[in-house]
Homo-oligomer: A and B are copies of this chain.
Amino acid sequence: MQQQADDIVKTLKTKGLRVTPQRFAVYSNLLSRQDHPTAEQILHALNQDAPTSSQATVYSSLQALQNVGLVREVLLEEGVCRYDANVLPHHHFRCKSCGAIEDIAWEKFQCIDLQQLRPGLKVEEYEVTVHGQCDHCG
């Protein structure tokens, strides 16, 4: 636990971010959860016990973390912006019934003929979004 906290501090510093309690809390929370929370869910989680962050600060922390590549946005539903501390390439599954979201290992999908999508297009990255039913809803 203590070691983990030190790691987070080190990571933030390495990226040139000032380490503030709020920023630390946002990143730490995001690292600790498997779902892909919205800004609001993060805010709520942080202020569960005692108020520690304001809404504006959560947004700005997320922005700062995004800018240095520690966090990415995940768009799976209209009007809902989620955040993910896993910035390695991977795909997403979303349950159409309950909305649960789950990561899909990168190796599960493979692109056929990537270079020939169309002459002129330079592909830099891609991701797959899978829709279906999860364990509970299936």
A residues lining the B interface (CB < 8 Å): 73, 75-79, 81, 93, 96, 102, 104, 108-113, 116-118, 120-135, 138
Contact = CB atoms under 8 A, between A and B. Distances in A.
Give the dominant DSSP class at A's interface: strand
A75 B73 contact: no
A93 B120 contact: no
Contact of A93 (B75, B116, B121, B132): B121
A133 B108 contact: no
A128 B104 contact: no
Given A75-B78, A127-B128, A122 B138 contact: yes
Contacts of A102: 118, 121
